Amino acid sequence: MSPQGGLVWRNGDLNTLETTIRLRMKDLQEGALQALAESVNEGSTVMHNVIEDSVTPTGEERARRGAGVPGRIDTQAMYNDVHSGASDEGNGLLVGTLGWQRDPEGYYAKQEYGSGKIAPMHALLQGFITAREVLTIRLTRLARGKK
């Protein structure tokens, strides 16, 4: 492999070239899966931070009473239900997931998008944007043969 991450083939036979290409493809796919997993994990960290930092009047009142924090963390359910993961589905398909595993009675959606007196927190949106940005950086580096 060349220093730039490409292939170098000199006076070799086609079997050697084919093996080199297959190994490079395997390395790229494994690297892409790792990049995807790390990126959606960063997205879930952003979601957790937004949930903690999104102050509401209810949360402020709860904190004043000494019954919790001003962020959107009361029962911990919305915070703990944040999930991220990456999987190799075969045939070159990698799947990344980010978000809540469940949403009891649409409660998380109301918190995410806002509803009536509830200001939107956009935790999922901010997590997705972060995951997409860092994934783009990681995949670009991977394609260029950089760590």
pLDDT at position 30, please? 94
Is the CB of residue 130 less than 8 Å from the CB of residue 42?
Answer: yes
78-93 pLDDT, tens digit each: 999 999 999 999 988 9
Query: Please, is 101 exposed, middle or buried when counting C-beta atoms within 10 Å of its C-beta (0-12, 13-18, 19+)?
Result: exposed
Q: What's the mean per-residue pLDDT of the chain?
A: 88
Token duo for residue 45: 């960290």
- Quick one: average pLDDT of 121-144? 96
Average pLDDT of span 29-37: 96
Using CA atoms, how far apart are residues 130 and 94, in angstroms rounded to an integer? 18
When pLDDT is cut at 50, 70 and 90, the band that residue 19 belongs to is: confident
**Lowest model confidence (mean pLDDT) among 31-40, 64-73, 82-91, 133-142:** 64-73
C-alpha torsion angle, residues 140, 134, 38, 69 (rounded to 10): 180
Query: Is 116's pLDDT higher than 90?
Result: no
pLDDT surpasses 60 at 1: no
